[in-house]
Amino acid sequence: MSEYIMEVNDLKTHFHTKTGVVKAVDGVNFKVKKGEILGIVGESGCGKSVTSQSIMRLVGSKSSEHVSGEVRYHGEDLLLKTEREMEKIRGKDISMVFQDPMTSLNPAYNVGTQIAEMPEIHEKKPKKAAWKRAVEMLTKVGIPSSEKRAHQYPHQYSGGMRQRGVIAMSLACDPDLIIADEPTTALDVTIQAQVLDLLRKLRDDTGTAIMMITHDLGVVAELCDRVAVMYAGKIVEEGTIEDIFDRPKHPYTKGLLNSVPRPGRRERLQPIEGQPPNLQNLPQGCRFQDRCPFVMDKCLAQQPELLPAESEQHTVACWLEEEGQPDGDRGTRKNRQPEEAL
Ligand SMILES: Nc1ncnc2c1ncn2[C@@H]1O[C@H](COP(=O)(O)OP(=O)(O)OP(=O)(O)O)[C@@H](O)[C@H]1O
Ligand SMILES: [Mg+2]
């Protein structure tokens, strides 16, 4: 069996709007290993949420939403599944945690009932057993007096507790992948740290893989094993935490790292100048060209591919990589003709 539970190949999600085609996700490739925590990081609007919504088939049903490529989950392409088949997968095999817990919680029902619904629907568990499971899950995510709390309504929970409740719901059917889209962004820092701790502990205990979508490099550093950096609908660099934080290659990744405070570093923060390109009117060539301090002629003409840099697992989409090593001793990119790289 493959070590990967999910393989996303050339995923494209384009929205056809009155003013033109928005290429929100435009040829994204990545893999998620069993039990790993993969971070997807990038500025607002770079396509992180649309990537996760496309995987879960939450976009793609309207005629204006065009999703193509492959989302292989245990080898099967989710993009080819019927809506009925997807309903069975969502919440059971793959579950989602959103930024706002009230996206998932209904204010009209107590929290226990909402969690219990998951095993009731997906595993056909009898009501009593499902309720027991809900209380167990609340205990697992660190809700005190879980038996009593299960009877309470979302408004009786604090923000941090609600997010724990949603995580309990996402775990109720033992998924092997949780997609968490900015799950801690709305929480204050101490609660955020607790929720990150909780997610890491749950992964360690249950072996659930987590795709952590965030714009916050601090969250990535704290939680993830590997990270994919997204820019304007594409992944521009991917690697282990050490690859990305200690040996970043892409000027965008370097810019991101320079624009956030990091422990032990006292230089002035340097924000990345400029704005990401308009997704309706993308430039030819590299999408970071307008903001890149190292831009070359080639960058204006051709889009660089995501290819191995120092190791097979550390990939970068940047022409500088080739320029930086003129003897061409750089694995797969070496001897590549420009037209092949398009
Ligand atoms: N239904 C839609 N129709 C047209 N454009 C859309 C639609 N949904 C998203 N977009 C556009 O797609 C781009 C990517 O959006 P997405 O929500 O994935 O960004 P993000 O990386 O999650 O940002 P954030 O960090 O702010 O959550 C944005 O420019 C957004 O405006
Ligand atoms: Mg988002």
Averaged pLDDT score across all residues of the chain: 90
What phi and psi, each to the nearest 5 degrees, are found at residue 314? -100, 105
Task: Encode pLDDT of 324-334 as tens digits.
Answer: 644 434 333 33
Q: Give 206 Cα–ligand 2 centroid separation in angstroms.
A: 26
- Output the pLDDT for position 326: 40
Ligand 1 nearest-atom number relative to CA 50: 18
Q: Give 220 Cα–ligand 2 centroid separation in angstroms.
A: 15
More confident residue, 310 or 244: 244
Contacts with 3 (C-beta within 8 Å, 6 or more apart), sequence order:
33, 34
Ligand 1 nearest-atom number relative to CA 230: 21
Roughly what angle, to the nearest 10 degrees, separates helices 159-171 and 111-122? 10
Residue with tokens 């167990």: 136
Residue with tokens 């939450």: 58
- Ligand 2 (ion): residues with CB under 5 Å are 49
Q: How confident is the model at residue 190 (pLDDT cuts 50, 70, 90)?
A: confident
Ligand 1 nearest-atom number relative to CA 53: 18
Q: What is the mean pLDDT of residues 22-30?
A: 97
Q: Which ligand is nearest to the CA of 98?
A: 2
Ligand 1 — pocket residues by CB below 6 A? Answer: 15, 17, 22, 24, 42, 44-50, 215, 279
CA angle at 284 for the pair 52 and 29, rounded to the nearest 5°: 30
Type and span of the H or E element at 274: none
pTM to 2 decimals?
0.90
Task: Encode pLDDT of 235-288 as tens digits.
Answer: 999 999 999 999 999 999 999 998 887 767 667 778 888 999 999 999 999 999
**Which residue's CA lies nearest to atom 2 of ligand 1?**
15
Best CA proximity match to 196, nearest among 227, 219, 230, 165 = 219
Q: Burial letters for 1-23: b for 16+ Cβ neighbours within 10 Å, e otherwise?
A: eeebbbbbeebbbbbeeeeeebb
- pLDDT above 70 for 179: yes
